[in-house]
Amino acid sequence: MPAKRSPARRPTMKDIAQRAGVSESAVSFALNDRPGVSEITRDRVRRVAEQLGWRPSTAARQLSGEGTATVGLVLARPADTLGVDSFFLQLISGIQEVLAERHLGLLFQVVEDVDDECAVYRRWWAEHRVDGVLVVDPRTDDARPDLLDELGLPAVVIGGAPDARHPGLSTVWADDAGAMASVVGRLYELGHRRIVHIAGLPGLAHTERRIRTLRAEAERRGLAEVCSVTTDYSDAEGAAVTRRVLEGGVLGGGSPPTALVYDNDVMAVAGVAAATELGFSVPGDVSVVAWEDSALCRMVKPWLSALSRDTVAFGRTAAVELTSLLDGGPARAVGVPVPGLIERDSTGPCGPCGA
Amino acid sequence: MPAKRSPARRPTMKDIAQRAGVSESAVSFALNDRPGVSEITRDRVRRVAEQLGWRPSTAARQLSGEGTATVGLVLARPADTLGVDSFFLQLISGIQEVLAERHLGLLFQVVEDVDDECAVYRRWWAEHRVDGVLVVDPRTDDARPDLLDELGLPAVVIGGAPDARHPGLSTVWADDAGAMASVVGRLYELGHRRIVHIAGLPGLAHTERRIRTLRAEAERRGLAEVCSVTTDYSDAEGAAVTRRVLEGGVLGGGSPPTALVYDNDVMAVAGVAAATELGFSVPGDVSVVAWEDSALCRMVKPWLSALSRDTVAFGRTAAVELTSLLDGGPARAVGVPVPGLIERDSTGPCGPCGA
DNA sequence: GCTGTGCACTAAAGCGCTTGAGTCAGGTCA
DNA sequence: TGACCTGACTCAAGCGCTTTAGTGCACAGC
């Protein structure tokens, strides 16, 4: 027989009942603030429970109809796209702040694509693993809301637009459209007329929203030479697209734009490097704005102007919505503050441009 | 009554039993590959289960003595330190690859410090939430191994040194000492005699190991002007320390070093920026090595020479060890390949230095 | 014919908790 | 005095599984 050190035993309600001299039910009532026991007994039970270091077994609790006290989050991005992006860890740490308070666990999974993600939801649901989920990276044509509806799994969509077709889902959304409009406005003010938007993954709801807004704003202002190019968010594509754009291969007329808006910080940094290599000075020849602020933006020269928002708070808000949903609250759509443009050194007036 | 769409019902073993015309026990035997049913019955049961989309309820399963099919990972780092570091997401995605295969869930939590981390372990244990845990950022004076021993929670320590005092814990470790020795060796070869190591958090086991090794190597080679400075891994401290070091405030004699070794990529990048600002050219005046390779290292000029390892594989290895532990395998200490130095443009021969 | 053996399968207990249906003492009211 | 509450508890069932101890049957050996 292996001399395995016998681990401590977990106390159960039965232990408490015995010690306190009452029935298990009484213990249950006492510990769950249900009527049916006197205050005196309740106190005694609570004390014993504390003293024994008792915590309810989530499994047992769940089996008798309560929830699992766990929410799920799945990230559908290939491992390498995940790398440098600081967004998710920040988001998650915001989420955790709220969940930890309520002793809710976070079940986390990384998968390759949305189909796998759906499979995970099904499995979690069938295995009774989670009470609800947080959905990130909503898409324009997204199978997930329908699925979650079908499964009856409470969910909040992070970064989606409010969606009338799924009244059961909460949404926490940032006003990308507003932010994009303000960026374009500011660039216009600085004299820029030729703008390229190096966007993120096509199909992502916020990517499409930004692209639409850019187009709308351009039309409104009568700018013909404005466009978006989608990428995979990687530094490699950021650099490649930047080269293509600056060599005149994208905008009409064969000449380069005077302002570039990148959908994340990683691409912006890579883009600036690429631009510099091609002999473009930033912001002399071309202005650069990064969507998403982070330490990265202050690690390169020139420091990048960036759209900054409080990602941790974003996560917190999402978690709060989910807990409220779990408490039986109504599904809602709540907005978070519009990202603000922090102007550092990578943006400037359009000099001898527009020629 | 609210017109709530009734969600799909989860099928249970009872449903399968009925449909297949056998008892629940038979179903259990069939589905768990236990003897006691004929192959014919087993097949029939399996087919029915599949057709019904049945998955075992983790709660029920656990309540009857099986595990929870969940492992835990807690990250004890303040939210802001978490930011730019690509290490953890990579590690986690490696871990996931292995866990997903076995349908193990990953319970994830971010906390402030190790005390909180211990509290989480206790809670998880008491609530029966996890079958085992992955421990990261081992420290020189670490309370966690003792605690996990006491709780009898299977665990693998990621990045620790093999630890004879805790025979129950597995360890997955990288040979930092070897890597540091090789870096010092290479720098020595290039003519560098004055080296400063901008280390990570003090108290972290691998930080201390690297510092010790650096000192040992310096002594062995008779280098007097070599030292380590600890930081919090942030770009801010990386830059600040770099300035202090280059202004001669750290090494004896008041003159700057000719080579800098940074414990992560973020600090290395920030450091190069700081050095450039002070008028030092890289690698002309000072060579720079980053410990941990990532896209970041190729986003700045000059491209950074870096110690590279396969972090995703690191995570995979750790997860494999944990699953083997859960299967009743023995605790082991397994090494992963020593990080290799990729020489890019930030390292070069020590020119007119050593004067 | 009887016991023995092996096999395929069923019955039922039990895991730790919640909960609806009792039970029982003490008080109220007619 | 007896019917009737009410508050404080206890009982026991049940959640969905696993598992131990059967049960019933076919076949073998004496």
Convert the pLDDT of each residue in A336-348 to its tens digit. Answer: 999 999 999 999 9
Do B30 and B45 contact (CB within 8 A), yes or no?
A: yes
Measured between beta carbons, the chain B residues lying within 8 angstroms of A129 are: 58, 105
Looking at the predicted structure, is the pLDDT value of residue B11 above 90?
yes
Measured between beta carbons, the chain A residues lying within 8 angstroms of B298 are: 235
Enter the DSSP assignment of B303.
P
Two tokens at A213? 């807004």
Looking at the predicted structure, is the pLDDT value of residue A355 above 60?
no
For residue A17, give the nucleotide whose C1' atom is nearest its CA. D10
Task: Please give the backbone phi and psi of residue A139, each rounded to the nearest 5 degrees, phi first.
Answer: -115, 165
Enter the DSSP assignment of A128.
T
Measured between beta carbons, the chain B residues lying within 8 angstroms of A132 are: none
Rounded average pLDDT over A2-30: 82
Confidence grade of residue B80 (pLDDT, cut at 50, 70, 90): low
Task: Please give the backbone phi and psi of residue B131, each rounded to the nearest 5 degrees, phi first.
Answer: -90, -20
Rg (CA), chain B: 26
Q: Is the CB of A58 under 7 A from strand C?
A: no
The structure tokens 């006197």 sit at A38
Two tokens at B292? 């941990």
3-class secondary-structure state, position B105? strand
For residue A21, give the nucleotide whose C1' atom is nearest its CA. D9
Q: Is the CB of A129 under 7 A from strand D?
A: no
**Helices marked H in chain A:** 13-20, 24-31, 39-52, 58-63, 79-82, 87-101, 114-126, 144-151, 176-189, 205-221, 235-246, 265-277, 311-326
Q: Is the CB of residue B180 less than 8 Å away from at least one CB of chain A?
A: no
pLDDT of residue B352: 62
Measured between beta carbons, the chain B residues lying within 8 angstroms of A329 are: none
pLDDT of residue A1: 32
Candidate from A137-151, A229-243, A317-331, B81-95 with smallest mean pLDDT: B81-95
Q: Is the CB of A128 under 7 A from strand C?
A: no
* Beta-strand pair A105-111/A132-135: unpaired
- Decide if B129 and A90 are in contact by the 8 Å CB cutoff: no
Closest CA to A184 of A78, A258, A268, A118: A258
Measured between beta carbons, the chain B residues lying within 8 angstroms of A79 are: 90, 93-94, 312
pLDDT of residue A337: 93
pLDDT of residue A31: 95
Q: Is the CB of B63 under 7 A from strand C?
A: yes
- Those of residues 255-294 in B touching chain A at CB distance below 8 A are 266, 269-270, 273, 276, 294
For chains A and B, count residue pairs whose Cβ atoms are closer than 8 Å.
181
- Decide if B270 and A299 are in contact by the 8 Å CB cutoff: yes
Give B10 CA → D19 C1' in Å. 24
- Those of residues 31-70 in A touching chain B at CB distance below 8 A are 53-60, 62-63, 68-70
Rounded average pLDDT over B95-101: 95
Give B64 CA → D9 C1' in Å. 29
Give B217 CA → D14 C1' in Å. 68
Measured between beta carbons, the chain B residues lying within 8 angstroms of A93 are: 79, 82, 110
> How far off is chain B from A106, nearest CA to CA, in Å?
6
Confidence grade of residue B81 (pLDDT, cut at 50, 70, 90): low
Enter the DSSP assignment of A212.
H
3-class secondary-structure state, position A118? helix
pLDDT of residue A162: 82
pLDDT of residue A294: 85
Task: Please give the backbone phi and psi of residue B67, each rounded to the nearest 5 degrees, phi first.
Answer: -75, -175
pLDDT of residue B301: 83
Measured between beta carbons, the chain A residues lying within 8 angstroms of B276 are: 301
Confidence grade of residue B2 (pLDDT, cut at 50, 70, 90): very low
Beta strands in B220-329 (DSSP E): 226-229, 259-262, 287-291, 305-308
The structure tokens 């290599």 sit at A277
pLDDT of residue A83: 59
Closest CA to A289 of A219, A192, A208: A192
Strand D nucleotides, any atom under 7 Å to a protein CB:
7-12, 14-21
Give B31 CA → D15 C1' in Å. 20
- In Å, what is the CA distance from A332 to each residue of A173, A318, A336? 11, 11, 13
Residue in A96, A129, A235 closest to B295 by CB: A235
- Decide if A151 and B7 are in contact by the 8 Å CB cutoff: yes
- Tell me what the pLDDT averaged over chain A comes to: 91
Residues 20-49 of B with CB under 7 A from strand D: 24-25, 28-29, 31-32, 34, 36
pLDDT digit string, tens, across residues B127-136: 999 999 999 9
> What gap in Å lies between CA A181 and CA A270, rounded to an integer?
24
Residue in A59, A83, A110 closest to B63 by CB: A59
For residue B40, give the nucleotide whose C1' atom is nearest its CA. C8
- Decide if B88 and A86 are in contact by the 8 Å CB cutoff: no
Looking at the predicted structure, is the pLDDT value of residue A123 above 90?
yes
pLDDT digit string, tens, across residues B27-74: 999 999 999 999 999 999 999 999 999 999 999 999 998 899 999 999
The structure tokens 């230095």 sit at B353
Can you say whether the dihedral through the CA atoms of B107, B111, B114, B116 is positive or negative? negative
> How far off is chain B from A199, nearest CA to CA, in Å?
19
pLDDT of residue A352: 62
Amino acid at B216: A
Task: Please give the backbone phi and psi of residue A104, each rounded to the nearest 5 degrees, phi first.
Answer: -95, 135
> How far off is chain B from A216, nearest CA to CA, in Å?
33
- Decide if A234 and B55 are in contact by the 8 Å CB cutoff: no
Residue in A6, A122, A299 closest to B273 by CB: A299
- Those of residues 215-244 in B touching chain A at CB distance below 8 A are 234-236
Looking at the predicted structure, is the pLDDT value of residue A5 above 80?
no
Confidence grade of residue B313 (pLDDT, cut at 50, 70, 90): very high
Q: Is the CB of residue A106 less than 8 Å away from at least one CB of chain B?
A: yes
Q: Which residue has the higher pLDDT, A215 or B79?
A: A215
Closest CA to B57 of A68, A12, A69, A149: A68
pLDDT digit string, tens, across residues B190-226: 999 999 999 999 999 999 999 999 999 999 999 999 9
Looking at the predicted structure, is the pLDDT value of residue A88 above 70?
yes
Measured between beta carbons, the chain B residues lying within 8 angstroms of A89 are: 82-83, 85, 88-89
pTM: 0.92
Rg (CA), chain A: 26
pLDDT of residue B253: 77
Closest CA to A27 of A37, A350, B31: A37
Candidate from A125-129, A279-283, A350-354, B238-242 with smallest mean pLDDT: A350-354
- Decide if A5 and B152 are in contact by the 8 Å CB cutoff: yes
pLDDT digit string, tens, across residues B139-183: 999 999 999 999 999 999 999 888 888 988 999 999 999 999 999
Whether cis (ω within 30° of 0) applies to the bond prior to B302 is yes
> What gap in Å lies between CA A41 and CA A20, rounded to an integer?
8
pLDDT of residue A16: 95
Q: Is the CB of B126 under 7 A from strand C?
A: no
% residues pLDDT > 90 (chain B) = 80
> What gap in Å lies between CA A271 and CA A306, rounded to an integer?
14
Rounded average pLDDT over A75-104: 84
pLDDT of residue B354: 41
Q: Is the CB of A36 under 7 A from strand D?
A: yes
3-class secondary-structure state, position B173? strand
Q: Is the CB of residue B301 less than 8 Å away from at least one CB of chain A?
A: yes
Rounded average pLDDT over B303-312: 94
Residue in A55, A122, A301 closest to B273 by CB: A301
- Decide if B127 and A53 are in contact by the 8 Å CB cutoff: no
Q: Is the CB of residue B89 less than 8 Å away from at least one CB of chain A?
A: yes
Enter the DSSP assignment of A278.
T
> How far off is chain A from B277, nearest CA to CA, in Å?
10
Confidence grade of residue A82 (pLDDT, cut at 50, 70, 90): low
Enter the DSSP assignment of A253.
G
Q: Is the CB of A18 under 7 A from strand C?
A: no
Looking at the predicted structure, is the pLDDT value of residue A4 above 50?
no
Looking at the predicted structure, is the pLDDT value of residue A354 above 60?
no
